[in-house]
Structure 1
Amino acid sequence: MTCTSLNRRGLLAAAAIALPALAFARVSAQTAPPSQAGPFRFKGWRDAETDAERGFFEVPEDRRDPRSRKIRLGYVRFPSTAARPGPPIIYLAGGPGGEATGAATGPRFPIFMALRAVADVIAFDQRGTGLSSTIPERPASTRPAPEFTEAGLTSYFRSELQSAWADWTKAGVAMAGYNTEQSADDIDDLRRHLGAEKIDLWGTSYGSHLALSVLKRHGDRVNRVALSSLEGQDQTVKRPARIDAYLRQVDALLGTDPAARAAVPDLSALMRRVHARMEAQPALTAVTLNGAPAEIRMGGFGVQMLASGLIANPRTLAMLPGLYLALDAGKTAALTPFLGDVAGLLNLRGMPEAMDLASGISPRRLALIRREARTAVLGEALNFPMPQLMGAIPGVDLGDGFRAAIRIDHPALLIAGSLDGRTPLAEQDEVAAQFRRKSRLVVENAGHNVFEAHPEVQPLLVRFFRGEAVADTRLTLPPPKFQVA
């Protein structure tokens, strides 16, 4: 991500801290009505403004159904400043559920602006998001908040999704059309709408998952790709053993700080101890529910989900030891700053859940993940509500043909942070192996949001999209300073 929405990328409000909100800023910050096409002044990062153009086009909601209604997809175009622009650069947000137009209002805005020196830059809101949103928002659930244990949350979300899916279907939404293959076809329709022979792709996290599908289905219309925080075709659910390896890496960093090491002799042991005790005896935790003070019962699984958000980026990873030390000491009030209004956390948006269900997981990988999760520090919490929602809506899985790896001959720049706890480097290596003409850029001590983590990433992106050679590169940032008090 992504960048979080209320989906598998972070159901707890901690994600509002842990997974940066830049990909989910709302286009209501713009000066013209979101439905109005044409030129307008775009408000970017830190009150910067630029000329832009809002555009729309229509596609079938489900191309497999000849009776499908048409839906309207939207984007913002930042016109190129080049004398001879190259193929349009289309930005693919993470999530699923992130808004490209929202990402352009955050710290990634300077990169959007810099890439105009090469070509038009298109912030495209995928179906079900931002300018393209077509799934109606449901009223807040009146059901009591579930116990934040694995059993409690799984039961709640499976029931809620089945109820919501039925409501959306009755409202005329073709929910089965919200999948990555249809979104990939949307991007080729966008190419035609723009009048471009070819396009370049720039994406992150789930956006890389989507880019792989575009390459598989419309690769002859793609020129080159720059992707970060890679998520492969069969990596909607990450391997728990990879996260254990990541936590050992974090523990080694803790070991370089004598004070942190003294406070936390073994990070994984500390985390396991807290999870086990709180799952067996969930702690009554103060929260806000629909704007009013309330309490929930927070189990170990809820804490695992919280940790799954915190490990995304170094700034929030630094909070992890201190939080667990407090919980180990019985100070459950330490959870309160992370939880926000849980009513929002428990509502479904439709697009993220549908996309994840459709991308699914191969039987072989699911068996591997279930086996690893039995002993892993974070178990199956990292990607909740996947795989827990699998089978809740029959017939939407795209199948193993969708998840099959491909050989990719397009020029590619693949970017990663060494402290990315959402898409660990070992998982990204498996995706990178599909690319035959790649350069890899690793930012030491950066996390999931790597594009803006180091100032040298932006000029390398510009050089790459200009067609210049970019060698394998390693950049370095200072390690995080862990909070243990």
Structure 2
Amino acid sequence: MRFIFNRPLIKGILFLGLLTSTAITHAEPAKNEELFTFTTWNKQTADGLKGFFEVPENRSIPKSRSLKIHYVRFPATGKQPGPPIIYLAGGPGGSGIMAVNYRFDMFMALREYGDVIALDQRGTGRSNDLPNCESRQVVPALEKISDAKYIEYHREALRECLTFWHEKGIDLAGYNTLENARDLQALRQHLGAEKIVLWGTSYGSHLALAALREIEGSVDRVILSSAEGLDQTVKLPARTESYLDRLQLAVDQQPSAKAAYPDIKALIKRVHTKLEREPLKIQIPQRDGENLDYLLQRRDMQRIASSFIADPKSAAYLLGFYRSIDLGQVPAFDQVPRRYFPDGFHNPGTPISLRAMPTAMDIASGMSKQRKLQVRRQAENALLGDYLNFSYHYDGLARELDLGENFRSNPRSDIPVLLLSGTLDGRTYIESQREAMSGLDNATLVTVENAGHNLFMASPEIQETINLFLEGRPIEKTTLTLNLPDFSPK
């Protein structure tokens, strides 16, 4: 899987949300827990408990080092609470604790049905003791280079980082989705719960699907959005083409946007051809106020597009970027937060750096031989090529980490599963999400028209649907519709 617009680089241990000791009376701390008040970025507060449990880094190694897995637990408020609800962040590499800041209302609403737990998976957030790797590889900022050379810079960076982490005593074979799933079992036992409810998005759904097979008897039910199947870490380029057709239909509903973007695919193709022939020299603002010169190439736009197609709002910015270049102008990249862009874009001329957990997780989930052939064949004519998931280009470099073909087969289960899928999700395409559910006999599929990849907080109806699911009541409305953003040029 992988997508958070652009995962922020986390150095050391980062705990997002102010934790202060406080007294609460409605929950008793479990082992290694302490009372506190969580304060969000916008000063919302909730009493809870912060805690940790310990697991082996690699369960197949008898003397593997121990990891502390941190979490925040918000006690249930309902009169008849059910099993604990564990939030599984996306990425891979996202912090579940950080997610409370921007999904606070949903975390609080779900307390009606059980304790709600924001988990920092191994190698993320407060559970991250892994050093980042800064390689010696620097992609030239002002030199036109081929895709093959660009990819080799990154492959060599990974080779260096694999050696770096090994020398630091990090067992990368412990950072995969199966170990993550076994951590969920350890958390259930730590809490003394008979079963758990899994609540996951994007890579978090990938983890939840793996848990359905690995610890099925410990799972009560599952809530998913933007599902990434176990053989869907690397996305199919042809699905992007279908997504762009859906985006065009959405744009066509707005006369001013339709006039500006009568043919999105043709626009993208023109710009890519233009940049391939003559890259565009731009300046990228730095945090210290300086500007760095950079040669914007066709490949850069393919990587930027791979991030921005996630949601309709970001897709509107993307269309503006392409339109500007088509008109001979410089795109207004500085008007969009840095987190939306691919890693390293805003720091040209600096060494390629990698984070251990997301790098290892994506390599471990990998892709089947059939999917690899599909991606290679489809990428030849696809507008975004094979840049949707960069781990595709790491293929073959760390075969010992790969979880194998059995891992990538769809789980089979009759446990209740709710899946919410956005029609304008440009990262985990709605067709692929349906395929990921094929072995789940008790799945309820809800289509959210006009929603993108990050849809949980997009409408009150989404929360109402989740409430019905947790109450075991029938979900009769399986299509929800959201308003579209304004796609017209800004």
TM-score, structure 2 normalization: 0.89
Of 295, 299, 302, the match for 2:300: 302
Equivalent residue letter for 1:323: F
The answer to whether the aligner puts 1:3 opposite 2:4 as a matched pair is yes
The answer to whether the aligner puts 1:54 opposite 2:50 as a matched pair is yes
| Alignment coverage as a number of residue pairs | 466
Q: Which segment is superposed worse, 287-296 or 316-325? A: 287-296
TM-superposed CA distance for 1:192, in Å, is 0.7
Match of 2:176 in 1: 179
Whole-Å Cα distance in 1 between the matches of residues 227 and 428 of structure 2?
7
Q: Tell me if structure 2 keeps the 8 A contact 1:445–1:480.
A: no
TM-superposed CA distance for 1:152, in Å, is 4.4
Whole-Å Cα distance in 1 between the matches of residues 162 and 233 of structure 2?
21
Q: Tell me if structure 2 keeps the 8 A contact 1:274–1:324.
A: yes
The answer to whether the aligner puts 1:350 opposite 2:356 as a matched pair is yes
Q: Tell me if structure 2 keeps the 8 A contact 1:412–1:437.
A: yes
Match of 1:67 in 2: 63
Q: Deviations over 1:304-352 (max 9, x none)?
A: 1111111111111112222111111222343454567326894211111
Of 475, 481, 485, the match for 1:476: 481
TM-superposed CA distance for 1:63, in Å, is 1.1
Of 249, 253, 277, the match for 2:250: 253
Whole-Å Cα distance in 1 between the matches of residues 282 and 104 of structure 2?
38
TM-superposed CA distance for 1:142, in Å, is 7.7
Aligned with 2:262: secondary structure?
Answer: coil
The answer to whether the aligner puts 1:238 opposite 2:238 as a matched pair is no
Match of 1:379 in 2: 385
The answer to whether the aligner puts 1:98 opposite 2:94 as a matched pair is yes
TM-superposed CA distance for 1:277, in Å, is 2.4
Q: Tell me if structure 2 keeps the 8 A contact 1:6–1:348.
A: no
Structure 2 unaligned segments of length 5 or more: list them.
22-31, 339-344
Whole-Å Cα distance in 2 between the matches of residues 434 and 329 of structure 1?
48
Whole-Å Cα distance in 1 between the matches of residues 314 and 78 of structure 2?
38
Of 416, 420, 427, the match for 1:422: 427
Whole-Å Cα distance in 2 between the matches of residues 94 and 407 of structure 1?
22
% identity of equivalent residues: 42
Match of 2:441 in 1: 436
Q: What is the RMSD of the two structures over their aligned residues, measured on CA atoms?
A: 2.4
Q: Which segment is superposed worse, 197-206 or 339-348? A: 339-348
Decide whether aligned partners of structure 1 residues 143 and 376 sit closer, same or farther in structure 2, where only a CA change above 3 A counts. closer
Q: Tell me if structure 1 keeps the 8 A contact 2:86–2:198.
A: yes
Of 330, 333, 351, the match for 1:332: 330
TM-superposed CA distance for 1:190, in Å, is 0.8
TM-superposed CA distance for 1:111, in Å, is 0.8
Decide whether aligned partners of structure 1 residues 350 and 47 sit closer, same or farther in structure 2, where only a CA change above 3 A counts. same
The answer to whether the aligner puts 1:281 opposite 2:269 as a matched pair is no
Q: Deviations over 1:245-281 (max 9, x none)?
A: 1101111222233333333331101101211221343
Q: Which segment is superposed worse, 186-195 or 474-483? A: 474-483
Match of 1:408 in 2: 413
Q: Which segment is superposed worse, 243-252 or 317-326? A: 317-326
Whole-Å Cα distance in 2 between the matches of residues 370 and 321 of structure 1?
26
The answer to whether the aligner puts 1:389 opposite 2:391 as a matched pair is no
Whole-Å Cα distance in 2 between the matches of residues 255 and 5 of structure 1?
29
Q: Deviations over 1:421-459 (max 9, x none)?
A: 111111111012222112222221111111101111112
Decide whether aligned partners of structure 1 residues 283 and 149 sit closer, same or farther in structure 2, where only a CA change above 3 A counts. farther
Decide whether aligned partners of structure 1 residues 258 and 457 sit closer, same or farther in structure 2, where only a CA change above 3 A counts. closer
The answer to whether the aligner puts 1:127 opposite 2:122 as a matched pair is yes
Whole-Å Cα distance in 2 between the matches of residues 328 and 396 of structure 1?
43
Of 26, 30, 41, the match for 2:18: 30
Q: Tell me if structure 1 keeps the 8 A contact 2:47–2:74.
A: yes
Match of 1:89 in 2: 85
Of 313, 316, 319, the match for 2:317: 319
TM-superposed CA distance for 1:69, in Å, is 0.8
Decide whether aligned partners of structure 1 residues 26 and 464 sit closer, same or farther in structure 2, where only a CA change above 3 A counts. farther
Whole-Å Cα distance in 1 between the matches of residues 193 and 146 of structure 2?
50
Whole-Å Cα distance in 2 between the matches of residues 272 and 380 of structure 1?
15
Q: Tell me if structure 1 keeps the 8 A contact 2:136–2:351.
A: no
Match of 1:229 in 2: 226
Structure 1 unaligned segments of length 5 or more: list them.
12-20
Equivalent residue letter for 1:30: L
Q: Tell me if structure 2 keeps the 8 A contact 1:75–1:122.
A: yes
Match of 1:18 in 2: none
Decide whether aligned partners of structure 1 residues 219 and 360 sit closer, same or farther in structure 2, where only a CA change above 3 A counts. same
